Amino acid sequence: MRRIGILTLAVSMFLLGVSRGGALLPVHAEPYPEETRQLLEKSLSVVELNREIDRISALRSGAQADIERNERLLAEREMAIAVQREKAGHVLRSYYMGYKDFWMAALLHADSLPKIIRVWDTMDLIVQADHRTMNAYAEQYRELKSGYERLKREKDDLVAVESGLVAQRDRMNALRGDLDRELAASGDEQMLRKLMDELQAYWRNVGLYEVKQHFKALASAMTQLPDYVKKTPGIVQTNGLKTKLTLSDRQLNEFLRSQDSRFDDFSFKFDDGLLTMEGDNGHLQVTIQGRYTIENEPENAIRFHVDKLVFNGLALPDTTRAELEQEFDLGFYPQKLIKYVKARSVEMEDGLLTVDLGIGG
């Protein structure tokens, strides 16, 4: 009976996935049975892992091209510095083979002030030229050494990228193997594969774009949050050198909806150390959940980390969360609110975001 139920639901979902004109429609009209939901999540994960592999492969190609270009540049620089090294060597040899004694003797034997001045000017010109030669060599040598150190870091980064590529390929192959075995055992493999194909196509053509647009809107709104905080009485409270920022989720909802109409369909909630964002605009259901942490490099910031991302009832993998987190900055920068302060702690409980701020240092 369970197999028949899954098949019936799969058929209905599949039909919902295609419009009259053949365009893709949302596939979240009914809750999925647990077995179907897990299969669909895995199928989306396969798509996203494959996209991550493409991204890492592009990074690897770019890194390899950079390394090859820098190796050529360093080889050319080594040839150029060889000429400068010979000049520097000539200067050093002149100092150790008595040429300085010659000039000192010429200076001592000059029998008139004009002669002394001419000898001194000549010595000064030679010394300045020697300094320029030595300084040029030293600078070129430093640049060459720095170039090789940078090249080593690039090679180390390439090794890390290649390791990540291998890991993601292994992960995707394992997931595909699990998916194939579960589909074969389902008894409804053909219909479930059609459902997966439609869902994957909807995600690639519509879902991913829509999710990114929401993240982009959030990132844009967050740049305006400091101005909202400054203008809203009671959010910032100061006591001596201590400052506390308290923002309610009601205020956050009002602020975001004033920034972009798409957030009219979203709700934001602070609780249990997490910020949870949930929205449903009739064709797209999204849940974003994450936490804020204090970071001091490259600057003091309250950064948002995506712990959970659910699209139309299906959880997306960590690679998608990491990509969105990296591409869109949902953080908050205290010094854009008050100069010279730093965030010391951040908490989210009972509908409130609380940030303790102190003088930087």
Condensed to tens digits (0 to 9), the pLDDT of residues 240-282 reads: 778 899 999 999 999 999 999 889 988 999 999 999 999 888 7
What average pLDDT does the segment 83-109 reach? 56
Greatest mean pLDDT range, 39-53, 171-185, 328-342, 343-357: 343-357
What average pLDDT does the segment 51-80 reach? 80
**Mean of all residue pLDDT scores within the chain:** 78
| CA pair distance 173, 168, nearest whole angstrom | 8
To which H or E segment does residue 175 belong?
helix 113-186
Which pLDDT tens digit goes with each residue over 7-42? 444 444 443 444 333 444 444 445 567 778 888 888
| CA pair distance 131, 123, nearest whole angstrom | 12
- Of 189, 186, 202, 206, the closest CA to residue 34 belongs to 186
| CA pair distance 47, 82, nearest whole angstrom | 53
Q: Is the dihedral of CA 125, 128, 134, 137 positive or negative?
A: negative
| pLDDT attached to residue 15 | 37
Q: Is the dihedral of CA 321, 323, 328, 332 positive or negative?
A: positive
CA angle 62, 63, 67 (to 5 degrees): 120
Higher pLDDT, 89 or 310: 310
The beta strands (E) that lie in the chain are given as: 236-239, 242-248, 266-271, 274-280, 285-295, 301-311, 314-315, 341-349, 352-359
pLDDT higher than threshold 80 for residue 89: no
Instruction: Please name the residues in contact with 170: beta carbons below 8 A apart, sequence gap of 6 or more.
Output: none
| CA pair distance 215, 262, nearest whole angstrom | 11
Q: Would you give the end-to-end CA distance of the chain in angstroms?
A: 66
- pTM reported for the whole predicted model: 0.67
- pLDDT category at 292 given cuts 50, 70, 90 is very high
